[in-house]
Amino acid sequence: MISRRACFRNLLQSLRTSYSSSKIGDYHRFASQASSSLQQVFQPSTYSDDEYSEVDWDNLGFCMMRTDYMYMTKCTKGECFEQGQLSRYGNIELSPAAGVLNYGQGLFEGTKAYRSEEGRLLLFRPEQNAIRMKMGAERMCMPSPSIDQFVDAVKQTAIANKRWVPPAGKGSLYLRPLLMGSGEILGLGAAPEYIFLIYVSPVGNYFKEGFAPLNLYVEEEFDRASCGGTGGIKSITNYGPGLKALTRAKSRGFSDVVYLDSVNKRFIEEVSSCNIFILKGNVISTPAANGTILEGVTRKSIIDIARGHGYQVEERVISLIELIDADEIFCTGTAVGVAPVGSVTYKGQRILYKTGPHTVSQELHSTLEGIKRGLIKDNKGWIVEID
């Protein structure tokens, strides 16, 4: 291992508003509503009624797998979303003039359903995704489903695709809610009609490395977000522009890229698919959600768990120079969970970090996954049991 200070010192010398939300009420009351709705909308199935679909559960990656049902509802501009329906998973029809196709008027979310050791189906904090979608919809001039409707739709979709939820410990069912401007619009403006849709796929680890430490590359040429932009919401327009930097980094053997602030190029912001944390001693720091950084649900949960474990957690500006002395670095997100970082490369110089058993990232990962899967008692009201 090279000296951290020797490799970075000269290089680096050359060089909140956060959303708050009130606690959402008890969503368990929607379970009976979801079951009733399923009975009403299900048609005779051509699919197997087996407890599990025929999937190689031991070799799940993070790729699309066509499942049984999806949820969809529509509304016109200025109105509320009508009651949604479950239908067979398949293509949807959009006009070439749809707002989402022409002007990128769309949002997406990501949440997961887990199967406990006893076979129960569990959701993790779906109301937080609903809140974030409402915030994003306001920014993108779109109507959004109510928090109750969002959570109910997630429940219905998960139950309908129950046989695609992996066995306990084998993965999860990833649910992708989409909100898009589906109405025709030629001139720049808000679409006259909108679709709210949820589809699902069973998934394993997001990164091809599995549980192995990630190797990150500091991106200097491209930005992820800028002040006053849409970096703080899950706009679909945030992700396509990042493909250039991500593809280039992966071709060089890296797992993902670390983006810097667009103004000074001296402060850490996000990894392209997740939030980032650094550990020094007993202090865990993560960039403040100040409008350019997405306030992830997993990020929020890890902050809470870490404080409960006795760590001091800071949400603040983090400079590149702090990478030199960090003991650990890890990433968080719905798709990635809590992923340890083994190295960060900047200007051709590679810095190494502590990974493996008995690390803080492993401690936080174990607690979070234990809560999600029903192995650790949920004292925070995060888990929604649906079946």
Nearest residue to 74 via CA among 1, 178, 3: 178
Distance set, CA 104 to CA 137, 238, 327 (Å): 12, 10, 40
Nearest residue to 258 via CA among 243, 276, 244, 241: 276
First to last CA, the chain: 50
Q: 350 is written with which tokens?
A: 């590679």
Q: Is 345 exposed, middle or buried (0-12, 13-18, 19+ CB in 10 A)?
A: middle
How long is the chain?
A: 387
CA-to-CA distance for 51 and 86, rounded, in angstroms? 20
The Cβ-side half-sphere exposure at 158, using a 13 Å CA radius, reads 33
Residue 168: count other Cβ atoms within 10 Å of its Cβ: 16
Residue 94's identity, in one-letter code, is L
Catalytic residue among 234, 244, 280, 377: 234
Match 């006259």 to its residue by tokens.
Answer: 192
Rg, the chain, Cα only: 21
Q: 250 is written with which tokens?
A: 């992966």
Active site residue 380: no
- Using alpha carbons only, give the angle 136, 140, 141 rounded to the nearest 5 degrees: 115
Q: Name the residues annotated as catalytic.
A: 234
